DNA sequence: TCCTTATTGATAATGATTGTCAACATCATC
DNA sequence: GATGATGTTGACAATCATTATCAATAAGGA
């Protein structure tokens, strides 16, 4: 049976305070800075569990790192992500959902899934340097 | 100046024979099996160059590997990929392009880019086992 | 042909992630 | 509240894809 530990709680609430996708290592540093003596492996495990149970979304950065973000559970959605600061906004798109199903079916593919992410520079990061 | 070597040609034509996304290591094995004594680092460099110049597309597998696929140069497109055998089909979707630009603009994001991939089981892989 | 220098490839180094395993903590049960 | 079975932790080692090194090689312009 799954047990409740302060480590899992700590990872979950640390993730909740982030408005950007973060790596396991970043989160581990943040937790250490908060004075908790949590282990790195534990952070990796907790994040994997959260992703598994749908409480967090994950994506692979172009550098190959796995990044995590707390997300609205039980609701299919995608993300609009700032390339500079990581700020992330959840987006929905029924049109894209339907398109994905349609294009799969048209090509004889079954059990379609999809990866849809939009990257850009957020309003703040779009401002020219002073 | 960029020089032409048989190694780069070999990687390019090996990639052209694949109808699926493949890793650098897979391609290196295939090239070694063909009797060429090409080095692994060279395959990595050639693939990076091909991706850089738009002659190949790349994506990160869920396991964190970088996968490559020869693609139609100079034409923006996405991919429909079989989760089982890797068979890959290029797809276009103006509607998705416009949606991505729109959702970015609506949230104050500039310089939008996007990642859109559809995964499923191809017709062959959808057939029940005999 | 000669020479400059981009390229190669064997190998070491890197870095994120996972495996190991003894010590520990949770929680159903007493 | 105490007990015990067992899920969990964390320091560390191991793994594995990718990148950096660097001496040897080979393109290709002169
Ligand atoms: Zn930003
Ligand atoms: Zn979707
Ligand atoms: Zn298939
Ligand atoms: Zn597109």
Set of chain B residues whose Cβ sits within 8 Å of the Cβ of A96: 96, 99, 116
Mutate one of B44, B91, B107 to test the A interface: name it (highest A CB count within 10 A): B107
Residues with Cβ within 8 Å of residue B34, at least 6 apart in sequence = B14
> Taking a C-beta distance cutoff of 8 angstroms, is the pair B65, B71 a contact?
no
Q: Closest Cα of chain B to A35: distance in Å?
A: 31
Gap from CA of A4 to ligand 3 centroid (Å): 41
Residues with Cβ within 8 Å of B73's Cβ and at least 6 positions away in sequence, in order, are B53, B54, B55
* pTM score of the predicted model: 0.91
CB distance A97 to A116 below 8 Å? no
pLDDT in tens, A46-83: 999 999 999 999 999 888 899 999 999 889 999 999 99
Phi, psi of B32 (to 5 degrees): -65, -40
Residue B40, nucleotide of least CA–C1' distance: C9
Task: Locate the domains of chain A by residue range.
Answer: 1-73, 76-123
Instruction: Give CATH for domain A76-123.
Output: 3.30.1490.190
Q: Using CA atoms, how far apart are residues A24 and A55, in angstroms rounded to an integer? A: 15
Condensed to tens digits (0 to 9), the pLDDT of residues B90-102 reads: 999 999 999 999 9
Q: Which CATH number fits domain B1-73: 1.10.10.10, 3.40.50.1580, 3.10.450.40, 3.30.2130.10?
A: 1.10.10.10
Band of pLDDT at residue A89, cut at 50, 70 and 90: very high
């Amino acid at each position: 049976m799954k047990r409740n530990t302060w480590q899992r709680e700590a990872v979950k609430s640390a993730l909740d305070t982030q408005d950007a996708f973060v790596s396991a290592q970043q989160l581990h540093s943040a937790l250490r800075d908060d004075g908790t003596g949590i282990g790195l492996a534990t952070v990796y495990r907790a994040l994997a569990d959260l992703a598994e149970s749908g409480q967090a979304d994950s994506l692979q950065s172009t550098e190959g790192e796995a990044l995590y973000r707390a997300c609205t559970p039980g609701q299919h959605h995608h993300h609009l992500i700032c390339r500079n600061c990581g700020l992330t906004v959840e987006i929905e798109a029924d049109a894209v959902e339907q398109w994905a199903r349609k294009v799969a079916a048209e090509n004889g593919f079954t059990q379609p899934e999809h990866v849809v992410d939009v990257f850009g520079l957020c309003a703040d990061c779009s401002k020219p340097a002073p």
